[in-house]
Amino acid sequence: MTKTHAVSFSKTGGPEVFDYVDIDLAPPAAGEVQIRQAAIGLNFIDVYFRNGSYKVPHLPFVTGKEGAGTVTAVGPDVADFRIGDRVAYASADGAYSVERNIEARHLVHVPDGIELETAAAMMLKGMTAEYLLNRTFKVGPQTVLLFHAAAGGVGLIAGQWAKALGATVIGTAGSEEKVELALAHGYNHVINYKSEDFVGRVREITGGKGVDVVYDSIGRDTFPQSLDCLKPRGLFASFGQSSGPIENFTLAMLAQRGSLFATRPSLFAYIATRQELVDSAKALFDVVQSNKVRINVNQTYPLREVGRAHADLEARKTTGTTLLIP
């Protein structure tokens, strides 16, 4: 047994439910490795599990999906990873830990030249940008897109990546500072949706045509206005609910606005096979190593203070990526 620490909660609720606890970590089981984490990525999905909007599999629960570290032990039946390897992941619960066991199928090797902290900051948000721009909709030079929460973790990566693909990139953000930040990260136009009518501005920017695709992670507060930003036969990609879930969605809404398409994609369905995970991570590492996408770690908190990090994320105080340091 290895004596270590994790952050868990025994009931769902506000940021105060977290406890920093002692853990006796067993040796890795078959198919698992043990890692010492250099950094943990904070994601909005962690909030959904903590507050109960997504169902937790059991209580107490150690949440967190994303991290990077060094392999310290290898269980039976693991072929691809050795002690000392630098690894990262984006799809395994239990990230809020100092050391942890993890099924090797979730891991990728971090290439030389990428710091473990950077890897922890970009796996979940960066692979999300990858599948949204390459696979949910094939973004290219002809594409005009709208991306909400442009100054957020996913938003800053997606803006840079969409620019690299040659698209016309319109964003929204909730303050003038965030508008400036997004403009410096690939966005051609950024609308302050707290003070401006974003549907009217999108119509203005696109000469009345509307956009090919809206990437909406806001949910309740931008619905159904996001649909009104689309061209006929455009795609509504609803990939999150930072303001709460969308209610009263009907298929008739798509018909009324010109045969729209709608999807509710999730990263975990896009990296479900080993090949999909490896390909998505490689595309991300390549775009970062080519300097087309920079990863902005704009907030860092000790793991013990994760409650404060959650409160800041929910209060819209953060920009770019946030790391928790064990």
Ligand X SMILES: NC(=O)c1ccc[n+]([C@@H]2O[C@H](COP(=O)([O-])OP(=O)(O)OC[C@H]3O[C@@H](n4cnc5c(N)ncnc54)[C@H](OP(=O)(O)O)[C@@H]3O)[C@@H](O)[C@H]2O)c1
What residues make contact with ligand X under the rule CB under 6 A?
A: 43-45, 124-125, 128, 149, 151-155, 173-174, 178, 217-218, 221, 239-243, 265-267, 313-314, 316, 318
Q: Which residues contact 169 (CB under 8 A, 6 or more apart)?
A: 145, 147, 159, 162, 163, 186, 187, 188, 189
Q: Could you tell me the smallest distance in angstroms from the CB atom of residue 66 to ligand X?
A: 9
Query: Quick one: 146 or 151, whose CB is closer to ligand X?
Result: 151
Count of Cβ atoms closer than 10 Å to residue 285 Cβ: 21
- Report whether the peptide linkage leading into residue 224 is cis, meaning its omega lies within 30 degrees of zero: yes
Q: Could you tell me the smallest distance in angstroms from the CB atom of residue 270 to ligand X?
A: 7
Query: Rounded CA gap, 93 and 231, in Å?
Result: 38
Query: Quick one: 28 or 64, whose CB is closer to ligand X?
Result: 64
CA-angle at 30, arms to 26 and 34, nearest 5°: 45
Q: Where are the alpha helices (DSSP H) in the chain?
A: 44-51, 116-131, 153-164, 176-183, 198-205, 251-256, 267-270, 274-289, 306-314
Query: Quick one: 16 or 77, whose CB is closer to ligand X?
Result: 16
| Summary count for the chain: helices (H), strands (E) | 9, 15
Q: Collapsing DSSP states into helix, strand and coil, what is residue 65?
A: coil
Query: Quick one: 116 or 182, whose CB is closer to ligand X?
Result: 182
Query: Quick one: 28 or 152, whose CB is closer to ligand X?
Result: 152
Query: Quick one: 85 or 314, whose CB is closer to ligand X?
Result: 314
Sign of the CA dihedral 115, 120, 121, 123? positive
Q: Collapsing DSSP states into helix, strand and coil, what is residue 146?
A: strand
Q: Could you tell me the smallest distance in angstroms from the CB atom of residue 264 to ligand X?
A: 8
Q: Could you tell me the smallest distance in angstroms from the CB atom of residue 84 to ligand X?
A: 30
* Burial call 52-91: b when 16+ CB within 10 Å, e when fewer: eeeebeeeebbbbbbbbbbbebbbeebeebeeebbbbbbb
Q: Which residue has the closest beta carbon to ligand X?
A: 152
Q: Could you tell me the smallest distance in angstroms from the CB atom of residue 45 to ligand X?
A: 5
Query: Quick one: 69 or 152, whose CB is closer to ligand X?
Result: 152
DSSP 245: -
Query: Quick one: 151 or 165, whose CB is closer to ligand X?
Result: 151
Q: Could you tell me the smallest distance in angstroms from the CB atom of residue 244 to ligand X?
A: 7
Give the residue carrying structure tokens 């990566």: 157
Query: Rounded CA gap, 282 and 276, in Å?
Result: 10
Q: Could you tell me the smallest distance in angstroms from the CB atom of residue 27 to ligand X?
A: 32
Please name which of 222, 278, 292 lies closest in space to residue 88, comparing C-alpha atoms.
278
Q: Could you tell me the smallest distance in angstroms from the CB atom of residue 215 to ligand X?
A: 9
Q: Could you tell me the smallest distance in angstroms from the CB atom of residue 69 to ligand X?
A: 20
**Contact yes or no for 169/187 (Cβ under 8 A):** yes
Query: Quick one: 97 or 217, whose CB is closer to ligand X?
Result: 217
